[in-house]
Amino acid sequence: MRTVLMALATAAMLTTTAAGGKSWDNVRVKGDLRYRHEVIDNEGKDARYRHRLRARVGIEANVSVTTKIGLQLATGSDDPVSTNQTLDNGFSTKNLMLDLVYFEMKYEAVPGLKIKGGKFKNPFFKTGKSELLWDSDGNPEGGAATFQRDFQNLSLTLIGAGLWIEERSSNDDSWLAAGQGMLRYHLNEKKSSVAVGGGFYNYVNTAGFEPFFDPEEPMGNTVDDSGRYVNDYELIELFTEITHKFNDIPVVVMGDYVTNTAADSLDNGWLVGIRVGKTKKPGSWAFRYIYREVEKDAVVGTFTDSDFRGGGTDAKGHEIGGAVQLAKNTAFKATYFINTIGLDKNGSNFNRLQVDLQLKFK
């Protein structure tokens, strides 16, 4: 509750400052509401049916021509990769949490350079918006620098970050040092492009420590008899993305591969997929298909896709999704996961259906 009050006070201060200076143009408000019906069929368990809400509202304000700050509140719990709120518990009131709070600075002397600090949206590129390493709802904490430079038919993106994961008063902290680079080559008057890139993600102080966020849930990663990580996580990622427009219908083909160089086995993950169309105008549509396999210690299970196999690693399977734009800022979406949990012979079936009504404002 204290966090929410502080966030609301900050929001009021930002808007009051803008109003006092007669500069409402410097403040932008946006948000969204998603109503979801979900069916989870996990082999060996009764099927689960639930209704869930996700609501977010955020503001962004220019401090100067080179600096802006942002704040966003969202439903949910303190889960680092979900802002969903399940409708249950006898009509009880629901949580509202601090989802984003950050500053972003750019420097006129170095065009294309941006520096962020606080709790911000994930700065790393995810090919085709896929989620092999990172869940799309996860907002990391710490600092990051992004540099982008455009040439005639080529664009270069470089990203570096130092992210804080666990602060321990009586032991070493866990944190992430990471870097990513990407080259995108444009073709056909920028109607097509080919992007290639890679990244390195070094999780410092992992082996011998309890799983991140929830000490009792390793999310598929290997732990010892005391429930502590067996491996460190030093990840190398390679990815590609090919885009093209067919009669104004965008098509994206994606591929992503990751290996954990600090593990001796069960250390690889990969995905391939395609996206067709984009929901923008009423009547527009989109479709996607992704197949992935993620071994136990290929990535940190806490931060990977929380919908695939129920969240975590040691799984393979399909993701099929589609969307239709019903009206301005209103879309209907559906996603179906057909997964196998456990890459050995004793794997179990996991199916998940999500049906969403998505509404936005800005």
Check which CATH number belongs to the domain holding 260 and give it.
Answer: 2.40.160
Max intra-chain CA distance, the chain = 66
Average pLDDT over residues 244-257: 96
**14, part of any domain:** no
Residues 35 and 169: their CA atoms lie apart, in Å, by: 40
Domain count, the chain: 1
Give the pLDDT band (50/70/90) at residue 19. very low
**196, part of any domain:** yes
Q: Residue 280 sits in which domain range? A: 40-54+107-361
223 burial level (CB within 10 Å; 0-12, 13-18, 19+): middle
C-alpha dist (Å) from residue 283 to 143, 208, 254, 338: 40, 53, 25, 28
**45, part of any domain:** yes
Q: Please determine, for residue 295, whether its predicted confidence score (pLDDT) is greater than 60.
A: yes
- β-sheet bridge partners, residue 262: none
Give the pLDDT band (50/70/90) at residue 18. very low
Rounded mean pLDDT of the chain? 94
N-terminal to C-terminal alpha carbon distance within the chain: 26
Q: Residue 108's pLDDT is what?
A: 87
**74, part of any domain:** no
Q: Residue 278's pLDDT is what?
A: 96
Average pLDDT over residues 205-233: 98
Q: Provide the sign of the torsion angle of the four alpha carbons 194, 201, 167, 219, taken in this order.
A: positive
Tell me the per-residue pLDDT of 65-88, one tens digit each, with 9 for 90 and over: 999 999 999 999 999 999 999 999
Q: Please determine, for residue 229, whether its predicted confidence score (pLDDT) is greater than 90.
A: yes
Tell me the per-residue pLDDT of 149-181, one tens digit each, with 9 for 90 and over: 999 999 999 999 999 999 999 999 999 999 999
Percent of the chain exceeding pLDDT 90 equals: 90
Tell me the per-residue pLDDT of 118-153, one tens digit each, with 9 for 90 and over: 999 999 999 999 999 999 999 999 999 999 999 999
Which among 236, 220, 228 has a CA at the least distance from the CA of 301?
A: 220
Q: Residue 190's pLDDT is what?
A: 87
Q: Please determine, for residue 17, whether its predicted confidence score (pLDDT) is greater than 60.
A: no
Give the pLDDT band (50/70/90) at residue 11. low
C-alpha 360: how far from chain center: 18
**6, part of any domain:** no
Of 190 and 304, the structure prediction assigns the larger pLDDT to: 304
**267, part of any domain:** yes
Q: Residue 156's pLDDT is what?
A: 98
**244, part of any domain:** yes
Average pLDDT over residues 1-22: 49
**350, part of any domain:** yes
Q: Please determine, for residue 311, whether its predicted confidence score (pLDDT) is greater than 60.
A: yes
